[in-house]
Amino acid sequence: MTDKVLLVTGGGRGIGAAICRLAARDGWDVAINYAAKPGPAEEVADAVRAAGRRAVTIAGDVADQAAVVRMFDKAEAALGKVTSVVANAGIVNKVGPLADMPVDVIRRVIDVDLLGAIWTAREAVRRMGRSHGGQGGVIVNISSMAAVFRGAGGFTPYGIAKLGVDALTEGLGKDVGGDGIRVCGIRPGLIDTEMQNDTGIENRLERFGPTVPMGRAGTADEVAEAVVWLLSDKASYVNATTFNVSGGR
């Protein structure tokens, strides 16, 4: 792949930010999508530029299909044709019994975590598919071990959404593999990012880290290294599959 232009949704923090930084290290220009806070995304862009690559930050809610189209348009206007995409944007929103969750909370998780990945993948295929005039590329979907556990422990909407993302990865990968696009996924386990604070569970890393077979939580960089490998030609025969990055959990 000659041109290396990567779009990362939710690239302003946590795993997304780590993916942007490591992708720049590996020679990618990066479009960094964020939902609401430009400051952290701009810091990530500065890190990409410090690595000698181009960067642009783009506000947009991935749950809004029209906003996703605009996101791709802005990325291509700034950096050229997008050649790979990481669908990383996601939220937990609220943890607790499903029966006690407001409908709008449940719907927002599904809209961002599942529909957001679908809209992102749909637009990526429309831009990168050879049958659409593109040069092919890679889509990496960031799932979660919550999909494996089906959201047990108070994460029901999140687990359901991420299970849908796994289905998207496998089904779409089989459909578009012949169109020059590989679709792969990563399931992070317990990872030391600020999203842990979004769960509302105090000291979650300290409480559950020792229960991981490796005895600790993972880091955002450990997840990002797997992602940039999938983006690379070293993973050229990997398609329609999702890898656990979970310390054996």
Asked if 74 and 56 count as a contact pair (C-beta separation under 8 A), the reply is yes
Catalytic residues: 158
Asked if 218 and 205 count as a contact pair (C-beta separation under 8 A), the reply is no
d(CA 170, CA 232): 19
Q: Name beta bridge partners: 245.
A: 188
d(CA 31, CA 75): 6
Give the residue from 191, 219, 248 showing the smallest Cα distance to 21.
Answer: 219
Separation of first and last alpha carbons in the chain: 34
